[in-house]
Amino acid sequence: MNSAAAILHPPQTPPPMARAAGACPTVKLLPSYEFAVTVIVVSFNTRDLLRDCIQSILAECDRLPAGAAAEVLIVDNASTDGSAEMVEYEFVAPHSPVRLMRSDVNLGFASANNLAMEAARGRYLVLLNSDALFRPGALRLAVQHMDANTTVGVGGARLLSPQGEWQPSARAFPTLWHVFVVFSGLASRYPRSRIFGAFDRTWASPDLQAEVDWVPGAFSIMRREALVQTGLFDERFFLYCEEVDLCRRVKAKGFRVIYWPDVVVTHIGGESSRQLTTLKLSEGDSQVVLWRMRATLLYFRKHHGFRVWGFRALEDTMHTLRWLRNRSSSDPERRHRGQEAKVFLSLMRQAWKETRGGRISPPQPW
């Protein structure tokens, strides 16, 4: 161990329990800030990607303006692939900005980031996925943008695949209409339409700065003053929708959410977020779908009340139609699509039961 002082161990997490009330810890305003920015990375079994991510962060720390320093907090969510040991051995040292926070259980995205944000000593808080890499100058530009725009509560970056392809980087708050156009395929068929391409803002030029509803959690920079008023992530969201919920609360307090195209981040994980094309859903795929359904039910119940019933009815209808259309086809691929739709219907029933229609978060970790 290079520096015992740099290894932080959070308190033992209590046994998970279903929570009906929101859990949004607070962050404090400090009289002075030891760092201009705190960069937070939550990792779960992403050792090799995490190494590259940290190296890109350290390179960006060297590009900050003179007098501006950064700290880097790595939260390991009970990884079993040696991620924490790698960070401790390769990056934690007495004069390194990297600190490691270990959890004995997988806290999920919201709770793990909250843990780090409560410990952060930076004026701004930057969240970066462990499968994301800064392009040169990205961190410096993000800090400069926040300094120049004091009404901005959350800022987002242009997300690109490793091949340089644009990924959805600024989005609209989800509504029943958005759910319909995405599930129906209208969004992908007419991406340049302001009506059908509204959710992912595919109609807009990615080269233009814009005020938006929310930005993906792969990268975001947050103003501490905004978080003091809103609280941190709602910990009922184990994974998915937590950044949507937070941006909604930030905007409700009068702060803006801005997409900056000159802040560029390579996001490797976006490569796997395409439509499923396997003939059969794997156990992992089904788990991810279930998590997405749980989180969306929680979100709709929290922000749209009874419209959560509309969300379930819409999903059930779309999957039922897909099942009926494909179940008797002579094409094996189409029959498997029908089988997938039947699995989705079962997962929605499970998610609805486990969340009591979006009223509670199931025992964590999910």
* pLDDT over 70, % of the chain: 90
DSSP H/E element including 128: strand 122-128
Span 38-78, pLDDT tens digits = 999 999 999 999 999 999 999 999 999 888 999 999 999 99
| Spatial distance between the Cα atoms of 23 and 33, rounded to a whole number of angstroms | 26
Beta bridge mates, 42? 75
Q: What is the reported pLDDT for 32?
A: 85
| Spatial distance between the Cα atoms of 18 and 182, rounded to a whole number of angstroms | 31
pLDDT at 221 over 70: yes
Token pair of 295 as six digits: 């989180």
**Spatial contact of 100 and 76, defined as CB atoms under 8 Å apart:** yes
Mean pLDDT of the 324-353 span: 94
Please give the backbone phi and psi of residue 222, each rounded to the nearest 5 degrees, phi first. Answer: -120, 140
pLDDT at 5 over 80: no
Q: In the structure, what pLDDT confidence band is assigned to residue 30 with cuts at 50, 70 and 90? A: confident
Q: What is the reported pLDDT for 23?
A: 66
Beta bridge mates, 132? 267
> Mapping DSSP to helix (H, G, I), strand (E, B) and coil, where does residue 7 land?
strand
- Predicted TM-score of the model (pTM): 0.90
pLDDT at 16 over 90: no
Q: In the structure, what pLDDT confidence band is assigned to residue 195 with cuts at 50, 70 and 90? A: very high
Torsion sign, CA atoms 301, 303, 306, 309:
negative
Token pair of 292 as six digits: 């997405």
Domains of the chain (ranges, CATH numbers): 4-169+206-272 (3.90.550.10), 283-355 (no CATH)
Q: In the structure, what pLDDT confidence band is assigned to residue 98 with cuts at 50, 70 and 90? A: very high
Q: In the structure, what pLDDT confidence band is assigned to residue 224 with cuts at 50, 70 and 90? A: very high
Q: Is 345 exposed, middle or buried (0-12, 13-18, 19+ CB in 10 A)?
A: middle
pLDDT at 207 over 70: yes
pLDDT at 239 over 60: yes
Residue in 6, 170, 182, 8 with CA at minimum distance from that of residue 97 = 6
**Average pLDDT for the chain:** 90
pLDDT at 241 over 50: yes
> Mapping DSSP to helix (H, G, I), strand (E, B) and coil, where does residue 342 land?
helix
Q: What is the reported pLDDT for 310?
A: 97
| Spatial distance between the Cα atoms of 218 and 132, rounded to a whole number of angstroms | 7
Q: What is the reported pLDDT for 17?
A: 42
Q: Which of 76-104 are b and which e, b meaning 16 or more Cβ less than 10 Å from the residue's Cβ?
A: bbbbeeebbebbbeebbeeebbbbbbbbe
Q: Tell me the C-alpha to C-alpha distance, in Å, between residue 47 and each of 41, 79, 103, 266, 333.
A: 12, 9, 16, 17, 35
pLDDT at 253 over 60: yes
Q: What is the reported pLDDT for 269?
A: 79
pLDDT at 211 over 80: yes
Mean pLDDT of the 157-161 span: 97
**Spatial contact of 337 and 326, defined as CB atoms under 8 Å apart:** yes
Q: In the structure, what pLDDT confidence band is assigned to residue 282 with cuts at 50, 70 and 90? A: low
